[in-house]
Amino acid sequence: MDYIDANILCYFLSENRQFADSIQVYLDKIAAGLAEGTTSVYTLAEVCVTLKRWFKWSQDEIVEALDLMLTRTGIRFLPLTEEIMLKVPELMKSGRSYGDSIHIATMYSHGITNIVTMDKHFDIVSGIKRLSPR
C-alpha cells in the first residue's frame, strides 16, 4: 500500500503538465483496484488550502475537487487521531514541517513504508521509501 502525499493530488487536480500524465495513470490504477493508495484526512485540508491560496480556485471548484478525491479516486482516507498527533512534536524537533510530521506519523502508525510524492526530502526519512507515481 502506498501513502499519497498532498502534492500528488494538487498536481493532478491542477493538471500540472509536467506530472499530470504519470499521476493520472497511477490514480487510474488505484480507482480500478490494481493498486492500493491511502492518505490522511489531513491531506484533504492541505490540498484545499493549496488550491485556494496558490491556484486561486473558487469555493465551487474546491467542493468539486473534494467530491472527486473522496468518491471517485479509490483512495482510502485515514483518520487523524490523537495517537498520531502525539508523535508530531518529536518529528518536528528534527526539523520536519508540521504537515510532513503528520504524514510521517500517520505512516508509522499504520505500518506504511512507501510514500508517493515529488518531495525528495522524504528520501532521508528512516523506514520510508519515496516513490514517484507509476
Query: What pLDDT shows up at residue 16?
Result: 83
How far apart CA 35 and CA 67 sit, in angstroms, is 21
**If you compute the radius of gyration of the chain from its CA atoms, what whole number of angstroms results?**
14
Q: What range does the domain containing 42 cover?
A: 2-131
Q: How many domains in the chain?
A: 1
Query: What pLDDT shows up at residue 29?
Result: 96
The residue whose grid cell reads 483512495 is 75
pLDDT along the chain (134 residues), means of 10: 97 87 94 97 98 96 96 97 98 97 98 97 96 88
Query: What pLDDT shows up at residue 48?
Result: 97
What's the burial of 85, exposed, middle or buried (CB within 10 Å: 0-12/13-18/19+)? middle
Query: What pLDDT shows up at residue 68?
Result: 95
Domain holding 98: CATH number? 3.40.50.1010
How far apart CA 125 and CA 81 sit, in angstroms, is 21
